[in-house]
């Protein structure tokens, strides 16, 4: 592995701490995975169990080994496993979308270019570090067979999968609120849910919490929010209860005299706003205003 300041410098199988370096971003489903060294040799007595939530740090294109951190009784250990894409299920679902120009992909040293993502190509977000985004993406070898760092934040939409910015429902947002708070919860608490509307036990947004609404799903009527939870910020979905979510800038965006097309973050058509129709601005991104209406 190329020298870098991102991945802990430990031998495969060693403990890295009580928590992973980055939030877990995948789950082992269907079978256990034997732990290996960087050459692919099995480390006897070490394996990743079916059902373990893990952090994928890097995917070796040449050897098709995934460098991961996984939970054990004594802490999180680090090592390599076969890049079994049928068993490693990512929390993210290709939510990173490239813009209109090719995007260079860099190795973990942040300097060595190892590939390029095509315009509008999609990738899976692994984690964010030092202003860059680690992504896994498809190659001629198959789905999710290479990873690297990109500078572009991506134009992914939360409606495309189970996460936004690589954070699964209920998990901590490492860098805090992505955008300034734009709403407050009033009148009653809101139960946290996954992208399908299923409740996440033990998680809720309290009355009085100032939150950031990232997106509102028209079909499922779920709002994707970031909310304060003690000393951290968590992210997840809540029912789009318009009587409980009070926006700070309600109906403060006003359309002009012509119809305004509404786009998703990939440039796809979502709808339109009538002349002089009002909407509620949420935040600005990539020169555009995200509104709810």
Domain ranges of the chain: 15-90, 96-160, 172-244, 253-292
Looking at residue 260, its pLDDT comes to: 92
Between 227 and 130, the higher pLDDT residue = 227
Looking at residue 27, its pLDDT comes to: 96
Query: What topology does CATH give the domain 172-244?
Result: SH3 type barrels. (2.30.30)
Eight-state DSSP code of residue 172: B
Residue range 40-63, pLDDT digits in tens: 999 999 999 999 999 999 999 999
Under the banding of pLDDT at 50, 70 and 90, the label for residue 159 is very low
Looking at residue 158, its pLDDT comes to: 41
Under the banding of pLDDT at 50, 70 and 90, the label for residue 220 is confident
Mean pLDDT, the chain, whole residue set: 91
- Measure the CA angle with vertex 151, ends 194 and 235; round to 5°: 20
Q: CATH classification of 96-160, choosing from 2.30.30, 2.60.40, 1.20.144, 3.10.20?
A: 2.30.30
Percent over 90 (pLDDT), the chain = 76
Looking at residue 103, its pLDDT comes to: 93
Largest CA distance in the chain: 70
Q: Which CATH class is domain 15-90?
A: mainly beta
C-alpha 227: how far from chain center: 16
**Count of CB atoms situated within 10 Å of the CB of 186:** 12
Full 3-state SS string of 196-207: CCCEEEEEEECC
Same fold, 96-160 and 172-244: yes
Please give the torsion angle defined by the CA atoms of residues 49, 23, 138 and 290, in that order, rounded to the nearest 10 degrees.
140
Q: Which of 221, 231, 107, 95 is nearest to 167 (CA)?
A: 95
Residue 286 has pLDDT above 90, yes or no: no
Under the banding of pLDDT at 50, 70 and 90, the label for residue 288 is confident
Give the lowest-confidence range in 54-63, 163-172, 244-253. Answer: 163-172
CB-based burial label for 174 (10 Å; 0-12, 13-18, 19+): middle
Residue range 88-135, pLDDT digits in tens: 999 988 888 887 789 999 999 999 999 999 988 999 999 999 889 999
Residue 156 has pLDDT above 80, yes or no: no
Token representation of residue 220: 């499922």
**Count of CB atoms situated within 10 Å of the CB of 42:** 12
């Amino acid at each position: 592995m190329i020298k870098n300041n991102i991945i802990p410098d430990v031998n495969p199988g060693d403990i890295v701490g009580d928590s992973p370096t980055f939030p877990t971003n995948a789950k082992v489903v269907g079978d256990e995975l034997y732990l290996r060294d960087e050459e692919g040799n099995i480390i006897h007595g070490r394996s990743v169990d079916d059902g373990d939530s893990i952090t994928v740090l890097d995917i070796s294109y040449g050897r098709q080994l995934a460098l991961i951190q996984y939970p054990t009784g004594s802490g999180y250990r680090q090592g390599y496993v076969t890049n079994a894409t049928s068993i490693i299920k990512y929390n993210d679902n290709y939510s990173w979308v490239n813009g209109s120009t090719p995007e260079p992909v860099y190795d973990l040293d942040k300097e060595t270019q190892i590939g390029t993502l095509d315009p509008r190509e999609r990738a899976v977000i692994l984690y964010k570090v030092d202003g860059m985004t680690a992504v896994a993406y498809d190659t001629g070898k198959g789905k999710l067979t290479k990873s690297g760092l990109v500078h572009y934040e991506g134009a992914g939409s939360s409606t495309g999968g189970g996460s936004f910015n690589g954070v699964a429902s209920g998990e901590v947002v490492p860098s805090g609120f992505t955008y300034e708070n734009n709403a407050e919860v009033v009148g009653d608490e809101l139960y946290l849910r996954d992208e399908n509307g299923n409740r996440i036990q033990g998680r809720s947004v309290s009355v009085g919490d100032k939150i950031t609404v990232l997106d509102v799903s028209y079909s499922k009527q779920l709002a994707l929010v970031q909310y304060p939870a003690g000393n951290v910020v968590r992210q997840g979905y809540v029912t789009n209860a318009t009587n409980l979510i009070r926006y700070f800038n309600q109906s403060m965006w006003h359309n002009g005299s012509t119809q305004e097309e509404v786009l998703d973050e990939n440039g796809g058509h979502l709808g339109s706003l009538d002349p002089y129709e009002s909407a509620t601005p949420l935040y600005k991104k990539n020169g555009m205003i995200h509104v709810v209406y």
